[in-house]
């Protein structure tokens, strides 16, 4: 299927590191999933005409696994692949997040594409 790659530089000055956790900064897993979701949204919208007229909303996040910590100084490489093409406004993707060649998170994402009012 269609593929997309995104990059997120993880820096110490991001607000979530202040509380997650003091003296032991770790990027929250939910934000890694959100980064995959945003890269996936760009992938989906790259397949439609007039993408600026649409928004993507997540319907399901499944089989997510976290395999390693993501810490300040890491660069997240996000790889998304459509596993089912856009049909009736629904699309399925498989996402992976890497730091270097190391897989740090993966999961299945299902989104809905809706035309803006």
Closest CA to 77 of 1, 10, 2: 10
Buried b (16+ CB within 10 A) or exposed e, 62-87: eebeeeeebeeebebbbbbebeeebe
Closest CA to 10 of 105, 95, 83, 86: 105
Q: What are phi and psi of 96, to 5 degrees?
A: -135, 145
Catalytic residues: 20
Q: Tokens for 62?
A: 């499944």
Q: Tokens for 90?
A: 């629904």
């Amino acid at each position: 299927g269609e593929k997309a790659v995104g990059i997120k530089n993880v820096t110490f000055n991001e607000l979530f590191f202040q509380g997650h956790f003091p003296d032991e900064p770790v990027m929250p897993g939910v934000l890694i999933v959100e980064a995959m979701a945003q890269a996936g949204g760009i992938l989906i919208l790259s397949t439609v005409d007039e993408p600026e007229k649409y928004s993507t909303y997540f319907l399901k996040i499944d089989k997510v696994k976290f395999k390693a910590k993501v810490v300040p100084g890491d660069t997240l490489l996000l790889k998304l692949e459509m596993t089912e093409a856009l049909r009736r406004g629904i699309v399925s993707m498989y996402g992976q997040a890497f730091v270097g060649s190391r897989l740090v998170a993966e999961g299945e994402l299902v989104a809905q594409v809706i035309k803006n009012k």
